[in-house]
A and B are shown apart, each in its own frame.
Chain A
Amino acid sequence: MARNKEKLVLLLDVGPSMHGVLSEVEKLCSMLVEKKLIFSKYDELGVVVFGTEESKNDLTTEVGGYQNITVLQDIKVVDGDLVDTLQKLPRGRVDGDFLDAIVVGMDMLIKKYKDLHKGKKRLCLITNAIHPIKDSFEGSKEDQVMTIAEQMAAQGMKIESIVVRGRLSRDANKGVMDENDHLLSIFSKKTHTRIVYVDTPTSLLGALKTRRVTPVTVFRGHLELSPHMKIKVWVYKKTQEEKFPTLKKYSEKAPASNKLATHQVKVSYEYKSVDGSSTSVIPPEQRIKGYRYGPQVVPISTAEWDAVKFKPEKGIKVLGFTDASKIKRHCYMKDVYLFIAEPGNTRATLAVSAIARAMKEMNAVAILRCVWRQGQQNVVVGVLTPNISQNYKIPDSFYFNVLPFAEDVREYQFPSFNSFPASWQPNDQQQKAADELVQMLDLAPSGKEALLPEFTPNPVLERFYRHLELKAKQPDAAVPPLDETLKNIVEPDPELVAENKSVFDALHRHFELRQNPKLKKSSRQWYQEKQSGSNAHVSSGQAVNSIENQPPVKIEKIGDLTPVQDFEAMMSQRDNPEWVEKAIKELREKILALLIHSDEGDKYQKAVECVAALRKGCILEQEPGPYNDLMHHIRQYCEEKGIKSLPQLLASRDLTLISNDVTAEEARSFFVKMEPKPDV
């Protein structure tokens, strides 16, 4: 661990023009230290601020000059005090000179470590670089930067510059900015440098990698194009999710007097057999692994398994190249790998570069079969896409994404939006409103991309580490609400929304969204209904209005106006099984009332609708009894009164008996019997 100790000097601009973002700088830097305290406790850190009125650094005392630069903290192993220091950065009164600050920082590193620890020494500059640096005594500013950069390279130092621009530094002199940018870019020619431009407080928080992960190769070996053509490559992870830290469990059982208590909790697993009443713990050597195969569990010992399991050979093989359009973006399965040519191997780098560029030109991708390590039990099939480096210091490389196997894909069928009836299709105005929304809510206008993943910190992690720091001081502190900068990640930019108010208004106008009365039902039931294609529900829109998302009004009685709807609503009230019974009973009464009060059959149509609803309800509830009873009753009624039109109406709607109870034969012939034979 110790050999990877990083030695970092933070160079922070605290001049007046930076005051607007200093609170973010404080958060960023304290987060850096907080994470170091957990993940790399032995790293060393120094803090230099520039733009202060006073000057306090070695160089100013030794050689003079280097004004307005204060060493806030000499290089030391990270500790809690550093967090406190960084959380209260002084506000400077003068415009600072970042180049002087760089020299001071270098001086600190050189004095402390001589030329040891090459590659572990790092400077991190946070400035807006909108103020001119002082002219040098000899040579141009470029020469001066060049000399410094060469020295830096010789000492094995790296520098990372975070330049705060855009909205955060509006009225700056463009000429000066360009000059400074040019000067900073000289560093990248000579040394390993990262220059980052950020323009929102949110992206500032994400600009600095607050946790250093030592890169580890996943694979070193040959990328096999064909048995005769192999290229040496190393494979790294390009993305890997930084997980929420796993917290340990805390035991409060130990008495408070016990000062040596570890408060640790041990998780123990016991395997017990469950034969009848007696339970006994089975020792590990008596356990055997089993896999489910249908209802069976197949026991298999590790040794047996080793003998028969799938054992692929280590290696990465190209299966073929194909058109990039064949691979859909959403098929990417996992985090991403990076393939680079073996470092220092010029020929391999050239080969990778040639293939990457050829692939780019042809819009092709390669399909690979990878076995990263010997003894790995599966293979990975994935797609290799070219990454043409924009920076001429960095060689071309590939990205590799894992693709799904046939077993991993569930091909659900969805109706195409285009095949929906015209009434469901957006009309021209709606389409226009939607198009406008897409256009206006552009997060990447003219190349300035907002919320770039590279600069967007994970709000959950930010919040956790901040709260951790707070809790270390105040154990009872409540979790504070999400602050403004982090809110920008989870909510739409209020400014953008305000600017485009008219677009949203148009959207509101054109899309009348209705509340969904069926929301209370379980989704499964709802789906079933949809599938069976019940047309009785056309009236309901699924879309909900988020604000007025109230449960539907409770129906307690079937009214005269909309008996069918009332019945359905009642049937779907799941809070009490009595509703179903009540609904069926009431609808039955309603139907009979309709028949009796019908004048020359004018209400038959309505009655038939009710019968249809009742039949459906009874089938769903698997209670055919009440329905069949009613039908018998209706038949009797019709026969007595000699009504012919109603049975015909019912028969035409296929409203026969439900055939669970009665034989199908009886159900079929129900109305046939009833229809008076024409010849009789």
Chain B
Amino acid sequence: MDLDPEDVFKDEEDDLDNEFFQQSESSKEYVVYLVDASPKMFNTTCAGNDQKDETHFHTAVSCVAGSLKTQIISRSYDEVAICFFNTREKKNLQDLNGVFVFNVAEREHLDRPTARLIKEFDCIEESFMREIGSQYGIVPGSRENSLYSALWVAQALLRKGSIKTADKRILLFTNEDDPFGSLQDAAKKDMTRTTLQRAKDAQDLGISIELLPLSRPDSEFNVSTFYADLIGLDGEDLAQFMPSASQKLEDMKDQLRKRMFTKRVVRRIEFQIANGLSIELNTYALIRPTVPGAITWLDSVTNHPLKTERSLICEDTGALIQEPPKLFQPYRNENVKFLPVEIAEIKRISPGKLRLLGFKPLSCLKDYYNLRPSTFVYPSDQDEITSAGAQMEPPGMHMIYLPYADDIRDDEEIFPDTEEDAPRADEDQIQKAAALIKRIYVKDFSAFQFANPALQRHYAVLQALALAEDDIPETIDETAPDEEGLTRPAVVRAAEAFKHSVYGDSYDEESDMGKEKMSEASRKRKAIAENAAKDYDWGNLADKGQLKNLTVGDLKVYLNAHNLTVSGKKEALISRILTHMGK
């Protein structure tokens, strides 16, 4: 019932019966970040966070850095490579000019992100010009084609792993909408064609190429010049592709974040509308609590992970039990035994599919009909869209888990023990409350704008420890209320007016009174405890080592009387008493 501090991070859905919610972790993703490092990326700027202009290169790099940090947290099995093109130096397996694959020690080119990668990538901008350098790779008169080479390198990096088990993606950051603009007709045509073919071949191999264009304030990134063909946009898609969205760093990050989520189908399920009429749906877990990863036990001497072995031991004979044991429930003074298959049978009340029972107006969905995060369903194939009924809004439906009668409690009904009616606010009080609400109204709130401060802290600590840094960076708690805003005179006035209207002049007394009441009760308890505490000659008992003969209750009496914590096992209590006595 109460929140257990250890439990708060645990996913409640983590039980095995609930395969509905199980995320398939078997699928991983290989991503190559392909960042344009041409001089143009350094010369053009866009409005940054604090109104300062930042180069496009900076924008792209910080996006990638942010993305890496999310990846190491939420999908650390994904593998990434970072690759710059249009560089002065070259570093790649194919030894192609103008392409530089960034990497750190103890890591393959395409590998899981490590703390060191993140750390070194964070300060890449300082050393970039010195070590990698920027140079536009496509110049008239040479057969060099840095974009072509970059795609080739990226595709080569992604050769690892089978397409059946992994998603492979190339994320391309550039602000050059016409990479072959400087070339003459024939050469340009040839280069364009070969590059497109290269991209198409990569796509045929199951690699998807995604473009994250950066626009200059004066001229927009024109996708249709070249890139529409490269990433395979046409018609309506092209219209929807909004390059202008990435004018700002934040937008860019946002865009990247959205794209980093590959859709993972939780489960394919059949939705039966009527007998003989059903459609296939895919379910997606769009909202699930993110938790810090599971604890791995280590040997503190060697820091090697430990293997956990679970064994079942019969308490009567001490024998090891091999086969899955029967289960029992004590009932009517005996143990009623169940086979695991019987339990499964009891739980199987319907074949595993969704069935339409009927429709209800939305007003029937009360605010308290909720137990778990919702699941999103979408037709598993777009070839047949069977419904756009009045209650189904594109682009899909959310499934909300309703409680059963056993899950709903009526705690608000337990208190009316008086004959009087419950007090109701009058019109004036409501008006005052409304005025106060207006004062602290947030217009553009989004349901998930806050980062989880506990998680942020958790990973800040881990990163610092992983890199053996001494000080742990401060994390910002975005959920902290706006204290400053709440003490604005207008807000304070509205609050005072409301307070006066409800509490009269007695608000302060009220809060004091409560305290007094509480303290009276606790004083009483304390007095009893003190009296009881006198009953024993504590010092004597302690000297003789007889404290262990007392009950935990008695020991707690002493602890209570001296304002000590009363938690822990008996030994802990005794040692606490001894410490307190100074023995």
As a 0/1 sequence over residues 341 to 369 of chain B, the CB contacts with chain A under 8 angstroms (1 = contact) are 01101110110010111111100110111
Is B326 at the interface (CB under 8 A from chain A)?
yes
Query: Which residues of B sit under 8 angstroms from A514, Cβ to Cβ?
Result: 384
Contact in complex: A321, B298 (CB < 8 Å): no
Contact in complex: B437, A359 (CB < 8 Å): yes
How far in angstroms is the closest Cβ of chain A from B443? Answer: 7
Of B32-40, B55-63, B392-400, B550-558, the one with at least 4 CB within 8 A of chain A = B392-400
Knowing A456-B404, A496-B358 are in contact, say whether A467-B327 is a contact too (CB < 8 A): no
Contact in complex: B477, A404 (CB < 8 Å): no
As a 0/1 sequence over residues 451 to 491 of chain A, the CB contacts with chain B under 8 angstroms (1 = contact) are 10111111111011001110110010001001000100011
Bound together, the chains give a CA A317 to CA B481 distance in angstroms of: 7
Q: Which residues of chain A from 539 to 554 have any CB-CB distance to chain B below 8 Å in the complex?
A: 540-547
Contact in complex: A508, B454 (CB < 8 Å): no
Bound together, the chains give a CA A226 to CA B186 distance in angstroms of: 71
Smallest Cβ-Cβ distance to A423: which chain B residue: B383
Contact in complex: A236, B290 (CB < 8 Å): no
How far in angstroms is the closest Cβ of chain A from B349? Answer: 5
How far in angstroms is the closest Cβ of chain B from A286? Answer: 5
For B309, give its contact among A269, A333, A543, A659 (CB under 8 Å). Answer: A269
Knowing A238-B368, A434-B388 are in contact, say whether A261-B437 is a contact too (CB < 8 A): no
Contact in complex: B325, A251 (CB < 8 Å): yes
Is A228 at the interface (CB under 8 A from chain B)?
yes
Bound together, the chains give a CA A192 to CA B208 distance in angstroms of: 65
Is B245 at the interface (CB under 8 A from chain A)?
no
Contact in complex: B313, A464 (CB < 8 Å): no
Interface centre among B315, B372, B378, B437 (most CB of A within 10 A): B437
Query: Which residues of B sit under 8 angstroms from A275, Cβ to Cβ?
Result: 302, 304
Bound together, the chains give a CA A305 to CA B374 distance in angstroms of: 33
Contact in complex: B272, A407 (CB < 8 Å): no
Of B123-131, B220-228, B495-503, B535-543, the one with at least 4 CB within 8 A of chain A = B495-503
Knowing A250-B325, A463-B349, A464-B346 are in contact, say whether A239-B407 is a contact too (CB < 8 A): yes
Query: Which residues of A sit under 8 angstroms from B454, Cβ to Cβ?
Result: 309-310, 377-379
Contact in complex: A508, B274 (CB < 8 Å): yes
Q: Which residues of chain A from 550 to 584 have any CB-CB distance to chain B below 8 Å in the complex?
A: none
Is B105 at the interface (CB under 8 A from chain A)?
no
Contact in complex: A443, B360 (CB < 8 Å): yes
Contact in complex: B382, A426 (CB < 8 Å): no
Contact in complex: A377, B8 (CB < 8 Å): yes
How far in angstroms is the closest Cβ of chain B from A78? Answer: 10
Is B25 at the interface (CB under 8 A from chain A)?
no
Contact in complex: B289, A513 (CB < 8 Å): no
Contact in complex: B346, A357 (CB < 8 Å): no
How far in angstroms is the closest Cβ of chain A from B299? Answer: 5
Query: Which residues of A sit under 8 angstroms from B498, Cβ to Cβ?
Result: 229, 351, 354
Q: Which residues of chain A from 376 to 403 have any CB-CB distance to chain B below 8 Å in the complex?
A: 376-379, 381, 383, 385, 387, 389, 391-397, 399, 401, 403
Contact in complex: B402, A453 (CB < 8 Å): yes
Interface size on A, residues (CB 8 A): 244
Bound together, the chains give a CA A530 to CA B382 distance in angstroms of: 10
Contact in complex: A434, B425 (CB < 8 Å): no
Contact in complex: B446, A289 (CB < 8 Å): no
As a 0/1 sequence over residues 451 to 484 of chain B, the CB contacts with chain A under 8 angstroms (1 = contact) are 1111111110111011000001001010111110
Bound together, the chains give a CA A392 to CA B424 distance in angstroms of: 9
Is A140 at the interface (CB under 8 A from chain B)?
no
Contact in complex: A443, B357 (CB < 8 Å): yes
Of B83-91, B194-202, B521-529, B573-581, the one with at least 4 CB within 8 A of chain A = B194-202
Of A43-51, A92-100, A203-211, A598-606, the one with at least 4 CB within 8 A of chain B = A203-211
Knowing A293-B76, A543-B384 are in contact, say whether A239-B313 is a contact too (CB < 8 A): no
Smallest Cβ-Cβ distance to A267: which chain B residue: B312
Bound together, the chains give a CA A247 to CA B331 distance in angstroms of: 11
Contact in complex: A449, B306 (CB < 8 Å): no
Contact in complex: A290, B325 (CB < 8 Å): no
Contact in complex: A369, B479 (CB < 8 Å): yes
Of B42-50, B133-141, B172-180, B278-286, the one with at least 4 CB within 8 A of chain A = B278-286
For B437, give its contact among A37, A293, A358, A659 (CB under 8 Å). Answer: A358
Q: Which residues of chain A from 183 to 219 have any CB-CB distance to chain B below 8 Å in the complex?
A: 190, 192, 194, 206-207, 209-211, 213, 215-216, 218
Contact in complex: B308, A331 (CB < 8 Å): no
Contact in complex: B300, A294 (CB < 8 Å): no
Of A7-15, A124-132, A162-170, A616-624, the one with at least 4 CB within 8 A of chain B = A616-624
Interface centre among A239, A354, A394, A404 (most CB of B within 10 A): A354
Is B74 at the interface (CB under 8 A from chain A)?
yes
Main secondary structure of the interface of A (DSSP, over half): mixed
How far in angstroms is the closest Cβ of chain A from B346? Answer: 5
Contact in complex: A292, B277 (CB < 8 Å): no
Is A155 at the interface (CB under 8 A from chain B)?
no
Is B14 at the interface (CB under 8 A from chain A)?
no
Bound together, the chains give a CA A340 to CA B261 distance in angstroms of: 40
Smallest Cβ-Cβ distance to B452: which chain A residue: A405
Bound together, the chains give a CA A469 to CA B326 distance in angstroms of: 18
Smallest Cβ-Cβ distance to A434: which chain B residue: B389
Contact in complex: A265, B312 (CB < 8 Å): yes
Of A62-70, A172-180, A252-260, the one with at least 4 CB within 8 A of chain B = A252-260
Of A53-61, A360-368, A635-643, the one with at least 4 CB within 8 A of chain B = A360-368
Bound together, the chains give a CA A527 to CA B317 distance in angstroms of: 54
Contact in complex: B482, A288 (CB < 8 Å): no
Contact in complex: A331, B287 (CB < 8 Å): yes
Is A375 at the interface (CB under 8 A from chain B)?
yes
Contact in complex: B407, A241 (CB < 8 Å): yes
For A268, give its contact among B295, B310, B331 (CB under 8 Å). Answer: B310
Is A349 at the interface (CB under 8 A from chain B)?
yes
Bound together, the chains give a CA A676 to CA B330 distance in angstroms of: 89
Contact in complex: A622, B205 (CB < 8 Å): yes
Contact in complex: A546, B270 (CB < 8 Å): yes
For A434, give its contact among B333, B387, B402 (CB under 8 Å). Answer: B387
Smallest Cβ-Cβ distance to A279: which chain B residue: B307
Knowing A263-B316, A405-B455, A424-B385 are in contact, say whether A287-B300 is a contact too (CB < 8 A): yes
Smallest Cβ-Cβ distance to A226: which chain B residue: B486
Query: Which residues of B sit under 8 angstroms from A333, Cβ to Cβ?
Result: 287, 289, 372-373
Bound together, the chains give a CA A80 to CA B334 distance in angstroms of: 11
Bound together, the chains give a CA A351 to CA B433 distance in angstroms of: 8
Is A116 at the interface (CB under 8 A from chain B)?
no
Is B2 at the interface (CB under 8 A from chain A)?
yes
How far in angstroms is the closest Cβ of chain A from B430? Answer: 5
Bound together, the chains give a CA A556 to CA B279 distance in angstroms of: 29
How far in angstroms is the closest Cβ of chain A from B498? Answer: 7
Query: Which residues of A sit under 8 angstroms from B448, Cβ to Cβ?
Result: 331, 403-406, 408-409
Is B72 at the interface (CB under 8 A from chain A)?
yes
Is A411 at the interface (CB under 8 A from chain B)?
yes
Of A16-24, A106-114, A414-422, A586-594, the one with at least 4 CB within 8 A of chain B = A414-422
How far in angstroms is the closest Cβ of chain B from A444? Answer: 5
How far in angstroms is the closest Cβ of chain B from A308? Answer: 5
Knowing A295-B112, A468-B336 are in contact, say whether A389-B425 is a contact too (CB < 8 A): no
Contact in complex: B404, A410 (CB < 8 Å): no
Smallest Cβ-Cβ distance to B373: which chain A residue: A333
Query: Which residues of A sit under 8 angstroms from B483, Cβ to Cβ?
Result: 227
Interface centre among A290, A323, A387 (most CB of B within 10 A): A290
Contact in complex: B277, A511 (CB < 8 Å): yes
Q: Which residues of chain A from 425 to 444 have any CB-CB distance to chain B below 8 Å in the complex?
A: 425-426, 430-431, 434-435, 437-439, 441-444
Query: Which residues of B sit under 8 angstroms from A479, Cβ to Cβ?
Result: 342, 345-346
A-B contact pairs, 23 of them (CB 8 A): A206-B404, A216-B2, A229-B495, A230-B511, A250-B326, A253-B316, A254-B317, A258-B316, A269-B308, A271-B306, A292-B296, A297-B303, A320-B442, A331-B374, A333-B287, A340-B415, A354-B501, A373-B2, A379-B477, A417-B385, A426-B386, A435-B389, A493-B358
Further contacts, 13 of them, CB under 8 A, given A207-B405, A546-B277: A80-B332, A227-B486, A251-B316, A270-B308, A273-B299, A290-B296, A291-B458, A296-B466, A345-B510, A361-B434, A493-B358, A525-B164, A659-B201
